[in-house]
Amino acid sequence: MKILCVAEKPSIAKEVANILGGGNVRVRSSKNKYIKNYDFRYSFPSTGFCDVTMTSVLGHITNLDFPSSYSWGKCSPRTLFTAEILTKITQKEVFDNISSEARNSSKLMIWTDCDREGEYIGKEIFDAARKGNSQITLNNVWRSKFSHLGRQHILSAANAPIQLDMKAANAVQCRMEVDLRVGLSFTRLLTDNLKNAKIIKDKEVASYGTCQFPTLGFVVDRYKRVKNFKSEPFWYIEPMIRKESKKTSFNWVRGNIFDRLYVMILYEKCLKNEFGTITKLETKSTSNYRPLPLTTVELQKDCARYFKMSAKSTLAAAEALYNRGFLSYPRTETDKYPSSLNLKDIFEKQKQDSRWGLWCNKLLTEGHETPRSGSHDDHAHPAIHPVNYVSIDSLNNQNEKKVYEYVVRRFLACCSKDAVGLQTSATLKWGDEFFTAKGLMVTERNYLDVFIYKKWDSSKPLPKLSEGEKVKISSGLMKEGKTSPPQLMTETELIALMDANGIGTDATIAEHIDKIISRKYVEKEKRGRVDYIVPSKLGLGLIEGFDKMEFEGISLSKPFLRKALENALQEICDGVKRKEEVVEEMNKIYNDAYDVCKRKESILTNSCRIANTVN
């Protein structure tokens, strides 16, 4: 018996083949220079020893497209909503290699990433294998479930295969079809319109995407809020006491008030009192909680915050580390570790490091905490964690160094104790008004000593006070301030907004941000030490134009339509809806929106012209 195994990437195929083959592997070349075929023997529980060939693809080997008769300029963009869609082979050498290797195989085992996209690529592999051997059906297809390249984990995945999830594959095909029809029809409409109006050049493209434009919409909305912000004055009262040679200011419990006369009346009442009274004094223990296990979105947000890395660069570095067996699968929405994860084994591997080795030894000798568990679980992959040790000095890529160190330190922090401190709060009554002052003393840093990215420091201590004590007001001022505008959008905030609104997935958020940058709809602007994302004049004009159009109950620049699609895709995965049903629903919505855009093209061009003239 021969079993054909196919991985999603060449590096995964090589690593899995070496693990299953026990190092006794014969390597053959294919017609594609990146693809190798690995021959070995392995004993599966249900078959015993058999011949195995492990090969791989390079991601997708097919894509969806329209027939050539629907090329740009040959038809109205509107016809794309009902045009025939073809599945075209894009990696012919890879496709043919699978077909050829499947001819003498009895079973197919798929080793793609365990997410929706991996299920669809698994279906593409199945189609290629079936073309070479019609005896291979879904009934004799195995699907491995793995999240990292640890030896025991891979052996367990090989010995307990599951079925290919065709519902998830259908959900991906649904999303691809909707994105193809909507993206190309609107892109052609926008591009032709803006070229005719001389807003973009002949060789430029004004693309539209169902994730792309809501992402741009977030940036434009923040930019307009900042630009249109009008500062307002407010007033507040700030008393100060001097004790033990320390000056301590108190904050008014009323906060900031926008009525100057009202504050003046209250302030004058306070000034009649030379002394104030400490009415309440409370000291209590407080904690700074260790982080939750790491998701893709949190990794991207923190790398943008701490290292100024783009979401795309972060994911690229994490995937490179995963492909070499150093990290678990980096595309996950799960913020918990499985109970089967051997924490001590990871500590043992990491204790050789000069940077965090002593901390690992401490966790091994003094004991570790049970990591916290979040509320998210994609039921495909655990939270991101280190799998094998590598010295970061041996890594040549700077981004990989930063990502690996961050992931290790985050994992160790998850297994450490919370930081602990004492929070002292004093309440001062001055006249009829109440004010508070707080002081923090960090008593145990715990996880903060290994998770060096987060700061939690002791504040200036309060002087020794007691309840009921009369204290002299050394200074009591009525102060004026002004409201501040919101900050421009950072990539960290944009990732968080996209995640919260269902725009893209943990795996595709980086691609959508990169797309609006490459299309020159937005640009990065450095102010001080912070990189902000701001809309270009074209990006601003496009969103304002779409916002001025009167669509019926929908918006092409807000996240609601895409979120509805993502919810529908989940319903396909759950078996509640069929792929064809969702495609028809979304086609109807976007087809009607297309008709509105076509009728109101001048609104879009005028908005772009106006935006282009504004400084």
The closest alpha carbon to 561, from 222, 81, 171, 178, belongs to 178
pLDDT digits (tens, 9 = 90+) for 530-569: 899 999 999 999 999 999 998 888 999 999 999 999 999 9
Tell me what the mean pLDDT of segment 105-117 comes to.
Answer: 94
End-to-end alpha carbon distance in the chain: 71
Q: What pLDDT, on a 0 to 100 scale, did the predictor assign at position 496? A: 93
Q: CB-hemisphere CA count at 13 Å for 361?
A: 8
Is the distance from CB of 440 to CB of 403 less than 8 angstroms? no
Q: What is residue 245's predicted lDDT score, i.e. its pLDDT?
A: 85
Contacts of 609 (CB under 8 A, 6+ apart): 197, 199, 541
Half-sphere exposure of 325 (CA within 13 A, CB side): 18
Residue 321 has what pLDDT? 96
Give 12's Cβ-side CA count (13 Å radius).
Answer: 24
The single-letter code of the amino acid at 579 is: K
**Phi–psi pair at 530, nearest 5 degrees:** -110, 135
- Alpha-carbon distance 123 to 117, whole Å? 10
CA distance 64 to 295: 30
| pTM, rounded to two decimals | 0.88
Q: Is residue 59 scored above 70 in pLDDT?
A: yes
**Could you tell me the pLDDT band of residue 381, with boundaries at 50, 70 and 90?**
confident
Confidence of residue 615 (pLDDT cuts 50, 70, 90): low
Per-residue pLDDT reduced to its tens digit, 334-361: 999 998 899 999 999 999 999 999 999 9
User: Stretch 28-38: mean pLDDT, rounded?
Assistant: 96
Proportion of the chain above pLDDT 90, given as a percent: 92
pLDDT, position 553:
86
pLDDT, one tens digit per residue, over 396-426 is: 999 999 999 999 999 999 999 999 999 999 9
Mean pLDDT score, 592-604? 94
Q: Which domains does the chain have, with CATH numbers?
A: 2-164 (3.40.50.140), 169-228+487-613 (1.10.460.10), 233-290+420-444+462-482 (2.70.20.10), 296-414 (1.10.290.10)
> How would DSSP label each residue in 471-502?
EEEEEEEEEEEE--PPPPEEHHHHHHHHHHTT
Please compute the mean of the pLDDT values over residues 126-143 and round it to a whole number.
Answer: 95
What confidence score (pLDDT) does residue 486 get? 92
**Which tens digit of pLDDT belongs to each residue from 490-503?**
999 999 999 999 89
Q: What percent of the chain has pLDDT over 70?
A: 100
Q: Mean pLDDT of all residues in the chain?
A: 95
Q: Are strands 419-430 and 26-29 parallel, antiparallel or unpaired?
A: unpaired
pLDDT (tens digit per residue) in 236-283: 999 999 998 889 999 999 999 999 999 999 999 999 999 999 999 999
The catalytic position among 267, 329, 404, 590 is: 329
Q: Would you call 262 a catalytic residue per the annotation? A: no
